[in-house]
């Protein structure tokens, strides 16, 4: 059981149907008073139960015989004190120090639920939760501002952590370190999450960070939400905002769907049904043209041959041009293509294509952010990946009710804290 490395020696043992019990005592007695540092006189011995790592699938409890001493220094305010257990356990803790490391490893590496860990250790859910939260806070506090060193590229996204009945209170803002992805040295990591999905939420978090961190951030990737853009401009004026390509393409695809649905109603008088031409190609329209089969291309040509579908064809053409610009192997050429698209949508869109005109106004308003991608090639894709991992965490835990607890669990899950666990 490797108890010798904890500074105790086993004196007896017992087993029952629920747990294993080990009786032990410190190998070396230490009568020094924690206040004055002088040796005290032995008084008596008390037994302190400590939950340790499970053995052979059963919870393990150490019954430690802890010597107590009486301080002989008259000026010292402490009368009686217990011997410090050092590596074995922290003062007034109900578990051993290595038990905290075990909990963190199970949460970080094995993605285990707190309920499962509580069953393994033979303690309550709240005990394991408290251990995890305190240990995570200690890790981050011990690492301090060094955890933010070298962060040049960050990603920002919204995330729903609570049920929809919580409304806007169920959203948080994720701040992701994309520097390892940009450098090709590793995966992205979660820096923090804050309550709300507004400009104030992001601006408050950025304002609370050290000036050295704000000065070193060069690029911030985000979606089309204007609040994040406002916060980034106010708090990181020297950083370059990049609108993620996925959201630009998704925005264009959404406008394509709206026009298709409107033309469907105008030509057929009802929503899409099986056998309707536009309804039959709804997925084909959202597919990149080089990936279409010859059969799909033939179906599209048949749909576009109808003059009533001209608006859909024009919007589809813009959608495909946007995808082609992002997919061009030459970034400079891709940027030129995107500039041409934005300029054409800004000035020459007919009134009948209001959805396409809305797309043009949005792209023109965020022109610099859209074009910045071709200079920095920073994507918010890893941010979306962590967003999805946190959704899996929420499902695995059957939901969360406490945002503070969810924050610690999220940092353990996606905060790249593996290397810090051994420091406990």
pLDDT in tens, 184-202: 888 999 999 999 989 999 9
Same domain membership, residue 269 and residue 176: no
Same domain membership, residue 366 and residue 310: yes
How many domains does the chain divide into? 3
How far does CA 313 lie from the centroid of its chain? 39
Indicate the pTM of the whole model: 0.81
- Cα gap 257→286, rounded to integer Å: 9
pLDDT average, residue stretch 163-173: 84
pLDDT in tens, 290-329: 999 999 999 999 999 999 999 999 999 999 999 999 999 9
Same domain membership, residue 51 and residue 173: no
What angle separates helix 403-414 from helix 97-108, to the nearest 10 degrees?
A: 80
- Cα gap 298→95, rounded to integer Å: 69
Let me know if residue 157 belongs to a domain.
yes
Same domain membership, residue 364 and residue 252: yes
Same domain membership, residue 339 and residue 305: yes
Q: How many residues does the chain have?
A: 424
- Of 67, 89, 111, the residue at which a domain comes to its end is 89
The pLDDT assigned to 419 comes to 67
Same domain membership, residue 367 and residue 391: no
Let me know if residue 341 belongs to a domain.
yes
Let me know if residue 125 belongs to a domain.
no
pLDDT average, residue stretch 103-108: 89
Let me know if residue 95 belongs to a domain.
no
pLDDT in tens, 215-234: 999 999 998 888 999 999 99
Let me know if residue 139 belongs to a domain.
no
Q: Are 94 and 127 a contacting pair, CB within 8 Å?
A: yes
- Cα gap 243→233, rounded to integer Å: 13
Same domain membership, residue 168 and residue 62: no
Same domain membership, residue 272 and residue 222: no
Same domain membership, residue 268 and residue 196: no
The side-by-side arrangement of strands in the sheet containing 189-195 is 189-195, 171-177, 153-160, 219-222, 240-243
Q: What is the mean pLDDT of the chain?
A: 90
Same domain membership, residue 365 and residue 290: yes
Residue 211's domain is classified under what CATH number?
3.30.420.10
The pLDDT assigned to 77 comes to 81
pLDDT in tens, 272-287: 899 899 999 999 999 9
Let me know if residue 259 belongs to a domain.
yes
Structural domain range at position 288:
245-376
What's the token pair of residue 390? 């946190």
Q: How confident is the model at residue 49 (pLDDT cuts 50, 70, 90)?
A: very high
CA dihedral 80, 84, 85, 91 (to 10 degrees): 80
pLDDT average, residue stretch 241-250: 93
CA dihedral 203, 207, 209, 214 (to 10 degrees): 80
Same domain membership, residue 282 and residue 207: no
Q: Is the pLDDT of residue 181 over 80?
A: yes
Sequential DSSP letters for 226-291: HHHHHHHHHH-TTSEEEE-HHHHHHHHHHHHHHHHHHHHHHHHSSS--TT-HHHHTHHHHTS-GGG
The pLDDT assigned to 302 comes to 94
Same domain membership, residue 236 and residue 359: no
Let me know if residue 229 belongs to a domain.
yes
The pLDDT assigned to 278 comes to 93
Residue whose entry in the numeric block shows the structure tokens 């503070």: 404
Let me know if residue 108 belongs to a domain.
no
């Amino acid at each position: 059981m490797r108890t010798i490395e904890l500074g105790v020696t086993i004196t007896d043992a017992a087993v029952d149907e629920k747990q294993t019990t080990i009786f032990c005592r410190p190998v070396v007695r230490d009568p020094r008073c924690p206040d004055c540092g002088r040796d005290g006189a032995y008084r008596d011995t008390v037994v302190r139960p400590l939950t340790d790592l499970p053995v052979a699938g059963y919870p393990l409890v150490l019954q430690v015989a802890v010597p107590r001493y009486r301080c002989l220094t008259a000026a010292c305010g402490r009368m009686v004190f217990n011997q410090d257990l050092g590596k074995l356990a922290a003062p007034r803790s109900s578990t051993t120090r290595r038990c905290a490391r075990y909990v963190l490893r199970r949460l970080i590496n094995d993605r285990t639920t707190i309920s499962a860990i509580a069953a393994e250790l033979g303690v309550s859910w709240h005990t394991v939760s408290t251990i995890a939260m305190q240990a995570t806070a200690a890790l981050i506090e011990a690492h301090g501002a060094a955890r933010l060193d070298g962060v040049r590229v960050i990603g920002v996204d919204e995330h729903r952590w609570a049920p929809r009945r919580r409304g806007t209170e169920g959203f948080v803002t994720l701040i992701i370190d994309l520097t390892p992805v940009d450098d090709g040295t590793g995966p992205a990591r979660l820096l923090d999450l804050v309550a709300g999905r507004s400009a104030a939420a992001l601006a408050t978090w950025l304002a609370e960070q050290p000036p050295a961190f704000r000065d070193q951030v060069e690029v911030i990737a985000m979606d089309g939400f204007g609040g994040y853009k406002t916060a980034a401009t106010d708090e990181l004026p020297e950083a370059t905002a990049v609108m993620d390509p996925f959201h630009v393409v998704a925005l264009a695809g959404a406008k394509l769907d709206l026009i298709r649905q409107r033309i469907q109603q105008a030509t057929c008088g009802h929503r899409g049904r099986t056998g309707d031409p536009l309804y039959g190609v709804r997925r084909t329209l959202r597919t990149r043209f080089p990936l279409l089969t010859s059969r799909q291309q033939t179906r599209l040509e048949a749909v576009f041959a109808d003059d009533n579908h001209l608006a859909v064809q024009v919007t589809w053409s813009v959608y495909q041009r946007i995808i082609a610009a992002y997919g061009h192997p030459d970034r400079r050429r891709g940027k030129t293509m995107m500039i041409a698209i934005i300029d054409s949508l800004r000035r020459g869109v007919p009134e009948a294509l209001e959805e396409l005109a809305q797309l043009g106004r949005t792209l023109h308003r965020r022109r610099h952010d859209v074009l910045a991608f071709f200079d920095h090639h920073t994507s918010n894709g890893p941010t979306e990946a962590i967003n999805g991992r946190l959704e899996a965490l929420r499902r695995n835990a059957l939901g969360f009710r406490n945002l503070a607890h969810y924050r610690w669990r999220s940092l353990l899950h996606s905060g790249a804290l593996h290397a810090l666990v051994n420091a406990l």
